[in-house]
Structure 1
């Protein structure tokens, strides 16, 4: 971080139990350099509206930062705003640089996952193209654990533990009735199976865990899947399947696309399964 130049930080995408720890680290790091630190309200959307807060005043001491680091969800608020390509619409980029210049910002940090990294990457490239002195930095945070060049990301561990706990409890709940049943648990993880795979942590001496886990990296053979479920039902009353939201059939099509018009798209064009 440039010494004494203001640092601005934002949070984007889905909240996790760890995203405020990354915010805390940013505030502490800025404080070490003597740089003022501002927070964007609701990510880049708030930055475009010049909605910033003085985090140094909000968290003046170690006691307040200790509360922040243990606070779940996104303290600054979040957004799902997709920056257009500069060749399509340059105005948001000009506005952001205008706001950053107004506040004497030397570094902009953006905490989030793939879509947030898309935002900060676009800003970094645009800044370089116009010779901006602002340093644009992405801070990894994603429960999907799928950011390129990272071994693991804050957010994944807590989400994996949550999934394992849910699967273990669902296994117990689904086994209380004298009925044959198949329970399917859908997890996030559009293109990476880390979250679905974490369901294997549910298995221990006291719990059988999941019977089948469907990963986006492995094409779904529907006939084989149905046959495997039928075989398992021959030996047990209840079957528990964990499926990633991004599972695809052998043609490469997302299974959730079969929902047709009911399958909603988010701001970044990602399709999601619907209930």
Structure 2
């Protein structure tokens, strides 16, 4: 190995060992209004460092969403957040360029300060801030049969969860299964099967999970239709059905039935 090759090798090794973390950029805003007033909507770009991040995703939140996040987090992490600064409310001139630019920086720093606190970034309160509006819209579309729109939203949610829930990958299962339902109802069995197998890989050690049996049943049907190996999937399904019969559960729901009940308020 030449010196140049050795240098490139160690450079690659350092990149592979570089810890993955998230950065939050607020790169743009827009002025919106409801029937009461005008307000600023902030576009938050979430970037994963330490590895190539090909799925750039962003969300939009207004100041009141940040306020609610702050209040909710203080209930559980008041001591841990002692040094975290939250941008103060401005009663006059909050739509001026000067105030907007100042608040963009303040909110960016606020999110990064929160993410630096391990117990906060792993909390569902923090995670829900980035997901709840999108989840509400996605499941509303799914329940109303708007599968193309739901598909687009859930793909966005999957990209978000890939960044936010690496510590608990089982949280990826519901949106992945929602994608399976969308692909299946849009007559895209190959895509439904691929996403379903990704979800199943996360459930192998969680056979009691509410999605495990409905997902297996769907995958058996898809594998049979596509000419893939359905026998091993059917064997897992049969073992699951035996466990189901020994339990108090007597009826197995379909994947769609389980999915449409998610995120109902």
Pairwise TM-score range, normalised by the shorter structure: under 0.3
Structure whose residues are more often helix by fraction = 2
TM-score normalised to the size of structure 1?
0.26
Structure whose residues are more often strand by fraction = 1
